[in-house]
């Protein structure tokens, strides 16, 4: 029997880490590499080996330097002879010849831990990932097709999608239909009806009755979008959580694509591109930037609806939406989530369809309600106060300047001066551990328009200060 050099060198995080638990080895055509063989020298529990060529128990005992070895010729024989009603670990090389039998073994009695190699011929690795997540406490597979390691834990729900709903009867069916027909097995959709009065709650019930395995509906008194999102986030059972606005819709493969990207690249956040569409039929595609960096995304416009976030990360960091603020609540959430993330991945495909120019949209507001941005940043800076660093402060300042510049451009002409007076105090105040000179340099690096806006804020602040001083002297 020849020991070949494997594409996996034995550094599986779960392989042979519990010497007192029986181990089942299904090596396939490629036998284990020397590193893996060496790691079994101290194994105390029995080892079962499936050897289709049946090299023999004596040869395997000699190879692994282990006396308590049982060798069988196929997996059916293993199931009949091995006491799989007890705890065990599994190492397997899955290929087109044994994948169905290995699935049968796991279904008959799931291992505590499964690891090994998923060869190209075994089929789509994501299906095997989801199968393992449904049946195994822990698993770690080397994906031959992608030359990458994917690991996970027991979880029957890959992604939870939270949909806050309030009086969107004209658009809700299209939204929920697009989620009902997602091609990701196990995905759950949590519809939070925030006290709708137009029949939106009944539409949500209809979809739940039609697809009971996919939809869950929560009804609550009207409390605002942030509270509705928090309600859905609290109920989410998925490894990842995403958010879809109830007047938008998504491509059938959006969440499978994001999930595949996040799992394969071990990301905490995955995002895609989107398409803006207007009542007159006009569409504008905004592809995702594959080279996007976390540090740059921190100061970008909030687009939580095209992303999925690792649920455990959100829970560990206590990241929620500001329930006391009624609009634009996605801004601080996105900043905190991206700040907490270790890795972000982006796919270029425009999977999300973002409706524009709908009556009642927050993005269409042009009056004093835009001053809510001041309150949002006060809340965000309070949240970051205990652990803010100079680098974080720079990113938050860039986001603040971008956001207030957009607000100033958007607000009605008669309110622009009033808007500047309010935001200048925040942008130039002591909220950030940055000097005035550092802010000056940051604004300069953001381009001419942003620098001119910063200087306008500075002038506004100086004029206000002189006016206040004049009143005091008078």
End-to-end CA distance of the chain: 100
User: What does the mean pLDDT of the chain come to?
Assistant: 88
- The answer to whether residue 363 scores a pLDDT higher than 80 is no
Q: Percent of the chain beyond pLDDT 70? A: 91
Tokens representing residue 278 in the block: 């207007």
E strands of 133-282, at which residues? Answer: 138-143, 148-153, 159-165, 188-194, 215-220, 240-243, 249-250, 269-277
359-385 average pLDDT score: 83
- The answer to whether residue 145 scores a pLDDT higher than 90 is no
- The answer to whether residue 143 scores a pLDDT higher than 70 is yes
Tokens representing residue 117 in the block: 């190699």
**Which tens digits make up the pLDDT trace of 195-237?**
999 999 999 999 999 999 999 999 999 999 999 999 999 999 9
260-273 average pLDDT score: 96
- The answer to whether residue 95 scores a pLDDT higher than 70 is yes
Q: Which residue has the higher pLDDT, 373 or 472?
A: 373
Q: Percent of the chain beyond pLDDT 90? A: 58
CB 347 within 8 A of CB 290: yes
Which pLDDT does position 55 carry in this prediction? 63
The structure tokens 């060798």 sit at 71
**Which tens digits make up the pLDDT trace of 243-255?**
999 999 999 999 9
- Residue 72's pLDDT band (boundaries 50, 70, 90)? confident
**Which tens digits make up the pLDDT trace of 116-138?**
899 999 999 999 999 999 999 99
- The answer to whether residue 57 scores a pLDDT higher than 80 is no
- Residue 4's pLDDT band (boundaries 50, 70, 90)? very low
245-272 average pLDDT score: 97
Tokens representing residue 208 in the block: 């739940």
- The answer to whether residue 150 scores a pLDDT higher than 70 is yes
- The answer to whether residue 469 scores a pLDDT higher than 50 is no
Which pLDDT does position 31 carry in this prediction? 64
- Residue 3's pLDDT band (boundaries 50, 70, 90)? very low
Q: Which residue has the higher pLDDT, 348 or 301?
A: 348
- The answer to whether residue 267 scores a pLDDT higher than 50 is yes
CATH number of 23-153: 3.40.50
**Which tens digits make up the pLDDT trace of 157-175?**
999 999 999 999 999 999 9
Q: Which residue has the higher pLDDT, 469 or 278?
A: 278
Element holding 254 (H helix, E strand): helix 254-264
- The answer to whether residue 8 scores a pLDDT higher than 70 is no
Which pLDDT does position 30 carry in this prediction? 64
d(CA 299, CA 400): 8
**Which tens digits make up the pLDDT trace of 11-45?**
566 777 788 889 999 987 766 777 778 778 778 88
3-state SS assignment for residue 16: coil
Q: Which residue has the higher pLDDT, 431 or 372?
A: 372
**Which tens digits make up the pLDDT trace of 410-436?**
999 999 999 998 898 888 876 677 888
Q: Which residue has the higher pLDDT, 327 or 48?
A: 48
**Which tens digits make up the pLDDT trace of 377-403?**
999 998 988 888 888 899 999 999 999
- Residue 314's pLDDT band (boundaries 50, 70, 90)? very high
Which pLDDT does position 431 carry in this prediction? 65
Which pLDDT does position 429 carry in this prediction? 76
- The answer to whether residue 301 scores a pLDDT higher than 70 is yes
d(CA 222, CA 397): 33
By C-alpha distance, which of 284, 400, 292 is closest to 346? Answer: 292
pTM of the model: 0.88
The structure tokens 């609290």 sit at 234
Residues sharing a CB contact under 8 Å with residue 251, sequence separation 6 or more, in sequence order: 178, 349, 350, 351, 352, 353
What are the domain boundaries of the chain? 23-153, 159-364, 390-466
329-345 average pLDDT score: 95
User: CATH says 159-364 is which class?
Assistant: alpha beta
């Amino acid at each position: 029997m020849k020991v070949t050099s494997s594409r996996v060198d034995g550094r599986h995080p779960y392989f042979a880490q519990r010497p007192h638990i029986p181990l089942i080895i299904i090596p396939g055509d490629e036998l284990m590499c020397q590193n893996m063989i060496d790691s079994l020298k101290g194994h105390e529990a029995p080892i079962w080996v499936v050897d289709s060529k049946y090299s023999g128990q004596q040869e395997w005992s000699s190879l692994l330097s282990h006396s308590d070895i049982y060798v069988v010729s196929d997996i059916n024989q293993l199931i009949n002879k091995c006491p799989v009603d007890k705890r065990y670990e599994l190492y397997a090389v899955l290929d087109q010849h044994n994948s169905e039998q290995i699935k049968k073994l796991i279904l008959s009695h799931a291992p505590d831990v499964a690891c090994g190699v998923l060869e190209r011929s075994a089929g789509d690795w994501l299906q095997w990932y989801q199968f393992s997540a449904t049946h195994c406490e822990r698993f770690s597979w080397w994906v031959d097709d992608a030359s990458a390691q994917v690991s996970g834990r027991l979880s029957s729900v890959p992604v939870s999608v939270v949909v806050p709903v309030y009086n969107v009867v004209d658009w809700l069916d299209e939204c929920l239909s697009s989620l009902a027909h997602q091609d990701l097995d196990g995905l759950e959709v949590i519809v939070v009806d925030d006290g709708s009065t137009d029949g939106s709650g009944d539409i949500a019930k209809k979809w739940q009755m039609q697809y009971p395995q996919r939809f869950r509906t929560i009804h609550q008194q009207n409390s605002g979008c942030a509270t509705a999102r928090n309600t859905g986030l609290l109920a989410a059972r998925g490894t990842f959580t995403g958010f879809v606005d109830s007047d938008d819709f998504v491509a059938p493969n959006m969440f499978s694509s994001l999930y595949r990207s996040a799992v394969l690249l071990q990301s905490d956040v995955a995002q895609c591109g989107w398409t803006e569409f207007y009542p007159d039929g006009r569409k504008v595609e905004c592809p995702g930037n594959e080279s996007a960096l976390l540090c740059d995304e921190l100061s970008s416009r909030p687009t939580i609806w095209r992303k999925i976030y690792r649920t455990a990360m959100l829970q560990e960091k206590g990241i929620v939406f500001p329930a006391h603020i009624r609009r634009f609540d996605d801004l601080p959430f996105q900043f905190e989530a991206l700040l907490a993330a270790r890795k972000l991945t982006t796919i270029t495909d425009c999977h999300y369809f973002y409706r524009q120019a709908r009556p009642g949209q927050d993005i269409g507001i042009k009056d004093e309600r835009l001053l809510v941005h001041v309150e949002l940043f006060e809340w965000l800076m309070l949240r970051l106060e205990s652990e803010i660093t100079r680098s974080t402060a720079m990113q938050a300042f860039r986001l603040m300047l971008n956001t207030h510049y957009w607000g100033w451009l958007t607000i009605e002409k008669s309110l622009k001066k009033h808007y500047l007076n309010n935001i200048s105090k925040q942008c130039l105040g002591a909220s950030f551990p940055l000097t005035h000179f550092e802010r000056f340099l940051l604004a300069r690096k953001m381009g001419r328009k942003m620098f001119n806006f910063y200087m306008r804020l500075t002038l506004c602040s100086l004029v206000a200060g002189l006016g206040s001083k004049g009143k005091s002297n008078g």
